[in-house]
């Protein structure tokens, strides 16, 4: 059995593999392309392609694909064989530099938000040398960007790369002011923690709602849920442990540094966390992680659910986006050091983030908006829809001292004592963790906690990178022309703290009093996806993205349309699934049980007379609830029919938010009550108890 060090990265055409296989000059050119964003010369691309092909064939690969991330939110690939015909009737294995650097998939069937007409099929994929090629199931996968015939971005990678370039450009300007002449690049890094559910495949296959939508649309709460708090960090069950072991092996082969695994709060819920990587690579890795989770689960007779709220009444699943900025010299720009109040560079970058989040809180909310995540935000396992920043007591005190021009009295770190002599004393952290904060400083990074578990991390990081780039640009514009840098720096930090302190909140984000306080502070509370997306094309947001060349205006308009289309299509599928399950499964099952009750009641009355009985009382209750359920069914059916005649996307999204969802809620409430009244033998599909506690 091979150890972890042997298998780690074995299926990745990594820097170490390239250094071993490529000529020295070619390797230098590739390294420059990765480190500095330089274009790889055509002849060097040909050399890389040949060595990549040979390496892949040695690993058993027969095909290659340009692996890309369209606006569907998942990845896409079209496989081509290395095989080419030879004149003598045999074959040769060919893979050229052009085939490495450029592909041409059909772009007509991907979401484009009007960027492409259906009949305009041509699209291009372009090799992204900053993210390493890898082998997956016998196919050489080449990470690529995806654009239209006219050059517009049709994917999530191109805007992300543009945002990284924008932040790099502005961060370097600021760092030069502090004398950091040796720094040549600044990259953002991300470590996305991934939550998910594992359920038995048999239960999944018996539920059309899970198959079609990824979440349960019906389901009464079981007697036991998460109220005993006995699942979080509990002993991992053998079947789940076997899944986690295989998952780790597959991820490690692809160079994905998965490190932490544990049970999450809800029954059958778990979490995986990786080590930080450059944002572009971390995004690719997270997409791969979600795909591989599903495939490995199937091998164990399990299904991995990544929906944000697969079960009502228990915790949903999020994805915590741990974000920071690092220089090519190895410095973390959000590392406060032992004396953050004396670290002016840290304080300036911290202030830039605070300003960015306050100025673009609507974009931060939009970046995590989805029909699935709307069920989760504001619940007890996720932050509220109000954006705020948690800094902790020490940083908060430092910023208050700067704002008031008062000296900061640094406190010695208190030793934490637990009252048992044999246990060591250790320094107490200057701040606790705040799980209710949407955007929390956690030592040397910010944890953006609002992301839904199924989402790509590309958009939240594109927004964050660009917003911080804008803050840094404004700072550099002011400081570069200052006659006295130290005074100008002090005044700038003081002014910005005063202007943006409203976004800082260190308390309980679940408290209703905070929502009222946030409104008084002027913070936005965009509770649903349509509410949030309504602000996407606000002039200040268009100006942000276009000025930093992250999106063109037409690219933003297309994404606005894709947001709304996806929202309405998802809820439309859910509503139609509910109608199908109610009419074909639930209502007939309850009706059949009612008939048995009526038959038994008649038999009993012949023998016992008119004495009250279980059958009589239950039949009355079920008859009333069955009538209510059918009324709710008809109301939802009517609403769905009405929605099909609404052409305007904004109006349609609002109708789904206000009318369809409320009708779905009414139907669910009626059917869930019927579940508690109907004999188990009659109920047509597995219950919550069956699904959440089946995996041993």
Q: pLDDT, tens digit, for every residue of 9-54? A: 999 999 999 999 999 999 999 998 888 777 888 899 899 999 999 9
Q: pLDDT, tens digit, for every residue of 612-648? A: 688 889 999 999 999 999 999 999 999 999 999 999 9
Please state the three-class secondary structure of 180-220 as a single string: CCCCCCEEEEEEEEEEEEEEEHHHHHCCHHHHHHCCCCCCC
Look up tokens 């999106």; give the residue: 551
314 located within any domain: yes
Are 537 and 592 in a shared domain? no
Helix (H) or strand (E) holding 593: helix 587-608
557 located within any domain: no
421 located within any domain: no
Q: How many CA atoms lie within 13 A of 227 on its CB side?
A: 6
Mean pLDDT for 655-677 is: 98
Residue 315 tokens, joined: 């915790």
Q: Give the pLDDT of residue 245.
A: 96
40 located within any domain: yes
Residue 685 domain boundaries: 567-692
Is residue 89 very low, low, confident or very high in pLDDT (cuts 50, 70, 90)? low
Are 483 and 546 in a shared domain? yes
Are 479 and 623 in a shared domain? no
Q: Return the CATH number at 343.
A: 3.30.590.10
Residue 390 has pLDDT above 60, yes or no: yes
Query: For residue 344, what are the contacts with CB-CB under 8 A and spacing of at least 6?
Result: 178, 489, 493
Name which of 51-65, 261-275, 407-421 the model is least confident about: 407-421
Is residue 185 very low, low, confident or very high in pLDDT (cuts 50, 70, 90)? very high
CA distance 586 to 607: 32
Q: Give the pLDDT of residue 116.
A: 61
Q: Which residue has the higher pLDDT, 443 or 339?
A: 443
* Domain stop point among 525, 551, 577: 551
Is residue 467 very low, low, confident or very high in pLDDT (cuts 50, 70, 90)? very high
Per the CB < 8 A criterion, the answer to whether 51 and 22 are in contact is: yes
* Domain stop point among 103, 125, 155: 155
561 located within any domain: no
Are 271 and 126 in a shared domain? no
Is residue 605 very low, low, confident or very high in pLDDT (cuts 50, 70, 90)? confident
Q: pLDDT, tens digit, for every residue of 196-236? A: 999 999 999 999 999 999 999 999 999 887 777 777 888 89
Q: pLDDT, tens digit, for every residue of 90-140? A: 545 678 888 888 887 766 677 777 766 555 556 788 899 889 999 999 999
Helix (H) or strand (E) holding 583: none
Q: Which residue has the higher pLDDT, 218 or 153?
A: 218
Q: pLDDT, tens digit, for every residue of 500-542? A: 999 999 988 888 899 999 999 999 999 999 999 999 999 999 9
CA distance 434 to 383: 10
Closest C-alpha to 386, from 190, 521, 478: 521
Are 70 and 204 in a shared domain? no
Q: Return the CATH number at 46.
A: 3.10.20.70
342 located within any domain: yes
Q: Return the CATH number at 631.
A: 1.20.120.1560
Q: pLDDT, tens digit, for every residue of 319-377? A: 999 999 999 999 999 998 877 767 889 999 999 999 999 999 999 999 999 999 999 98
**pLDDT averaged over the chain?**
90
Is residue 431 very low, low, confident or very high in pLDDT (cuts 50, 70, 90)? low
195 located within any domain: yes
Are 208 and 99 in a shared domain? no
Q: Give the pLDDT of residue 487.
A: 92
Q: Which residue has the higher pLDDT, 430 or 356?
A: 356
Are 93 and 121 in a shared domain? yes
Are 119 and 136 in a shared domain? yes
Q: Give the pLDDT of residue 416.
A: 44
Q: Give the pLDDT of residue 217.
A: 98
Q: Give the pLDDT of residue 108.
A: 66
Q: Give the pLDDT of residue 113.
A: 74
Q: Fill in the DSSP letter of residue 342.
A: G
Look up tokens 């289309």; give the residue: 565
Residue 222 tokens, joined: 């079981």
Mean pLDDT for 375-404 is: 84
CA distance 660 to 258: 40
Are 239 and 146 in a shared domain? no
Residue 554 tokens, joined: 């037409």
Residue 607 has pLDDT above 90, yes or no: no
Classify the phi-psi angles of 207: left when phi > 0, otherwise alpha if psi is within -120 to 50, otherwise beta.
Answer: beta
Per the CB < 8 A criterion, the answer to whether 247 and 4 are in contact is: no
Q: pLDDT, tens digit, for every residue of 472-511? A: 999 999 999 899 999 999 999 999 999 999 999 998 888 8
Q: Give the pLDDT of residue 418.
A: 44
Residue 676, SS3 per DSSP: helix
174 located within any domain: yes
Closest C-alpha to 578, from 685, 689, 454: 685
Query: For residue 164, what are the contacts with CB-CB under 8 A and spacing of at least 6?
Result: 187, 188, 279, 280, 465
Domain count, the chain: 3
Q: Give the pLDDT of residue 39.
A: 80
Residue 577 has pLDDT above 80, yes or no: yes
Q: Give the pLDDT of residue 71.
A: 86
Are 239 and 111 in a shared domain? no
CA distance 341 to 359: 24
Are 210 and 77 in a shared domain? no
Q: Give the pLDDT of residue 478.
A: 96
Are 632 and 535 in a shared domain? no
């Amino acid at each position: 059995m091979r150890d972890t060090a042997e298998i780690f990265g074995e299926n990745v055409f990594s820097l170490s593999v390239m250094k071993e296989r490529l000529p020295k000059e070619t390797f230098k050119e590739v390294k420059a392309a990765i480190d500095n964003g330089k274009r790889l010369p055509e002849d060097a691309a040909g050399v890389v392609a040949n060595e990549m092909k040979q390496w892949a064939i040695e690993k058993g690969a027969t095909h290659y694909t340009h692996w890309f991330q369209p606006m569907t939110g998942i990845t896409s690939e079209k496989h081509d064989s290395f095989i080419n015909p030879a004149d003598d009737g045999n074959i040769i294995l060919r893979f050229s530099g052009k085939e490495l650097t450029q592909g041409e998939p059909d772009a007509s069937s991907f979401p484009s938000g009007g960027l492409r007409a259906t009949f305009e099929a041509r699209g291009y994929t372009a090799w992204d040398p900053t993210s390493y090629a890898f082998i997956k199931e016998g196919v050489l996968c080449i990470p690529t960007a995806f654009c239209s015939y006219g050059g517009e971005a049709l994917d999530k990678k191109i805007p992300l790369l543009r945002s990284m370039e924008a932040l790099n450009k502005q961060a370097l300007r600021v760092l030069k002011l502090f004398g950091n002449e040796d720094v040549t690049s600044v990259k953002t890094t991300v470590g996305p923690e991934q939550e998910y559910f594992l359920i038995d495949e048999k239960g999944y296959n018996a539920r059309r709602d899970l198959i079609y939508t990824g979440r349960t649309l019906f389901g009464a709460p079981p007697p036991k849920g998460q109220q005993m708090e006995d699942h979080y960090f509990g002993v991992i069950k053998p079947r789940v442990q076997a899944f986690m072991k295989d998952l780790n092996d597959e991820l490690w082969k692809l160079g994905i540094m998965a490190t932490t695994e544990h049970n999450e709060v809800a029954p059958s819920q778990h979490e995986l966390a990786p080590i930080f990587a450059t944002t572009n690579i971390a995004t690719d890795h997270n997409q791969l992680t979600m795909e591989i989770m599903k495939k490995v689960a199937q091998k164990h007779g399990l299904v991995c659910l990544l929906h944000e709220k697969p079960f009502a009444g228990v915790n949903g699943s999020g994805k915590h986006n741990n974000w920071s900025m690092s220089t090519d010299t190895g410095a973390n720009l959000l590392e406060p050091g032992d004396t953050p109040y004396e670290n002016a560079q840290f304080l300036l970058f911290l202030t830039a983030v605070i300003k960015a989040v306050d100025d673009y809180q609507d974009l931060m909310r939009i970046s995590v908006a989805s029909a699935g995540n709307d069920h989760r935000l504001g619940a007890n396992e996720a932050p509220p829809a109000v954006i705020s920043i948690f800094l902790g007591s020490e940083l908060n005190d430092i910023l208050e001292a700067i704002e008031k021009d008062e000296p900061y009295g640094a406190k010695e770190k208190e030793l934490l004592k637990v009252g048992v002599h044999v246990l060591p004393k250790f320094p107490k952290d200057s701040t606790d963790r705040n799980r209710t904060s949407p955007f929390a400083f956690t030592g040397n990074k910010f944890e953006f906690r609002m992301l839904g578990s199924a989402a790509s991390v590309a958009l939240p990081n594109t927004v964050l990178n660009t917003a911080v780039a804008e803050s840094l640009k404004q700072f550099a514009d002011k400081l570069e022309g200052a006659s006295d840098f130290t005074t100008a720096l002090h005044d700038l930090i003081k002014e910005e703290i005063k202007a943006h302190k409203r976004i800082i909140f260190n308390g309980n984000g679940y408290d209703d009093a905070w929502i009222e306080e946030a409104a008084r502070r002027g913070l936005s509370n965009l509770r649903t996806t349509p509410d949030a997306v309504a602000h996407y094309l606000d002039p200040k947001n268009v100006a942000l993205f276009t000025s930093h060349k992250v999106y063109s205006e037409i690219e933003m308009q297309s994404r606005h349309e894709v947001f709304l289309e996806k929202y309405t299509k998802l809820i439309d599928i859910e509503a139609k699934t509910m109608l199908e399950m109610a009419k074909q499964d639930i209502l007939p099952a309850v009706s059949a049980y009612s008939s048995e009750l009526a038959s038994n009641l008649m038999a009993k009355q012949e023998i016992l007379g008119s004495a009250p009985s279980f059958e009589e009382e239950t039949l009355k209750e079920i008859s009333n609830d069955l009538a209510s359920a059918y009324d709710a069914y008809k109301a939802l059916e009517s609403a769905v029919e009405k929605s099909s005649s609404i052409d305007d996307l904004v109006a349609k999204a609002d109708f789904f938010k206000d009318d369809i969802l409320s009708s779905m809620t009414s139907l669910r409430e009626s059917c869930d009550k019927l579940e508690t009244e109907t004999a188990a033998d009659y109920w047509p599909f597995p219950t919550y108890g069956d699904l959440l506690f089946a995996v041993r």
